[in-house]
């Protein structure tokens, strides 16, 4: 047997079999991380269903309700404000995400095609806005001059296209082989048909990821409603959640009979109930696109 075959070849450090101590430390770190993430969610969920007296006795929180009650949810739904806010948030999220995805796909496809007239200056302008955003006052002046204040358009048009999402999607489109475009043009397909029949079916991952980014942004936003609207009936759920959390006290609640009554309650139960309502929709959507998340982000970030 030759010396070459008997010589011990050391593997790189990242290929070495981990020691039991290392595996145990990794497992412990994973358990701690999961607890840090899961426990706050459970506390919020449990507190929203806990009786008021238990929450007050425990200092504002409950790890497990003595009796499960829907009083906090009945309270916030009794006046119809939260119900309307849920509808506003859902509408803004769906419509805004659809418009944003359509505009981002069209612009990213145009900037990804080689030889587009003015493509580089437009891309530099987009990157400039990404590094140096306009700010609150110029945005407010633009919305006001366009007569968009106190309209739902003001809640998504000012942020219709995200420069980051555009760069990610453009990088993904640039990774598609040019031979596919050339063969389609030989068959007589125009740019719109190439986009619809070739590019979009191959881009499900990045579209799902960018759509999630847009949807989460629209769903979680509360500040634009305060900035651009004077009517509380137009507020989305997140703005009402901010109101409940900031006030954190007994408030006048519009009951179904149309009479304002002073209702004493533990404010934490109502705050947590609103948080649950604001969090559950996104948690329900995310599992369906989780498999696209890593692929879409990493593939779109290969090129810029």
Question: Which domains, ranges and CATH numbers included, belong to the chain?
Answer: 74-300 (1.10.3720.10)
Helix boundaries (H) for 151-199 = 163-174, 178-186, 191-194
Give the CA distances from residue 190 to residues 36, 89, 111, in Å, rounded to whole numbers and listed in that order. 52, 38, 16
**Residue 7 clears pLDDT 90, i.e. is over it:** no
The 10s digit of each residue's pLDDT in 217-252 is 899 888 888 889 888 888 888 888 777 766 654 443
Q: What is the pLDDT of residue 263?
A: 44
Side-chain half-sphere exposure of 255, counting CA atoms within 13 A: 6
Q: What is the pLDDT of residue 256?
A: 36
Q: What is the pLDDT of residue 255?
A: 34
The 10s digit of each residue's pLDDT in 10-65 is 666 566 677 788 788 888 999 999 899 889 888 888 888 888 788 877 777 888 88
Q: Is residue 55 within 8 Å of residue 61, measured between CB atoms? A: yes
Using 50, 70 and 90 to split pLDDT, how confident is the model at 6?
Answer: very low
Residue with tokens 């010396």: 3
The 10s digit of each residue's pLDDT in 168-184 is 888 888 888 888 888 88
Q: Is residue 208 within 8 Å of residue 139, measured between CB atoms? A: no
pTM for this prediction: 0.75
Contacts of 240 (CB under 8 A, 6+ apart): 81, 82, 85, 274
Length of the chain: 304
Using 50, 70 and 90 to split pLDDT, how confident is the model at 260?
Answer: very low
Closest CA to 269 of 74, 72, 75: 72
């Amino acid at each position: 047997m030759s010396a070459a075959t008997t010589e011990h070849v050391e593997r790189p450090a990242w290929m070495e079999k981990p020691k039991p101590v290392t595996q145990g430390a990794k497992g412990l770190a994973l358990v701690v991380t999961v607890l840090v993430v899961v426990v706050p969610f459970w506390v919020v969920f449990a507190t929203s269903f806990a009786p008021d007296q238990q929450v007050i006795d425990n200092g504002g929180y409950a790890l497990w309700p003595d009796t499960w009650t829907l009083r906090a949810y009945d309270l916030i739904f009794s006046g119809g404000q939260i119900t309307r806010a849920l509808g506003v948030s859902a509408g803004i999220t769906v419509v805004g995400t659809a418009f944003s995805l359509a505009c981002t796909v069209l612009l990213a496809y145009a900037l990804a095609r080689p030889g587009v007239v003015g493509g580089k200056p437009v891309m530099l302008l987009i990157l400039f806005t990404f590094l140096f955003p306009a700010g609150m006052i110029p945005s407010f002046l633009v919305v006001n001059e366009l007569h968009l204040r106190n309209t739902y358009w003001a809640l998504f048009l000012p942020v219709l296209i995200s420069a980051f999402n555009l760069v990610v999607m453009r990088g993904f489109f640039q990774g598609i082989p040019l031979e596919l475009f050339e063969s389609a043009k030989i068959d007589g397909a125009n740019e719109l048909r190439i986009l619809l029949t070739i590019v979009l079916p191959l881009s499900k991952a990045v579209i799902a990821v960018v759509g999630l980014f847009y949807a989460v942004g629209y769903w979680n936003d509360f500040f634009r409603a305060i900035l651009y609207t004077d009517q509380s009936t137009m507020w989305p759920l997140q703005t009402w959640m901010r109101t409940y959390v900031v006030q954190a006290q007994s408030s006048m609640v519009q009951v179904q009979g149309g009479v304002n009554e002073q209702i004493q309650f533990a404010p934490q139960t109502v705050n947590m109930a609103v948080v649950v309502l604001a969090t559950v929709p996104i948690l329900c959507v995310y599992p369906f696109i989780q498999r696209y998340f890593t692929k879409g982000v990493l593939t779109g970030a290969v090129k810029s």
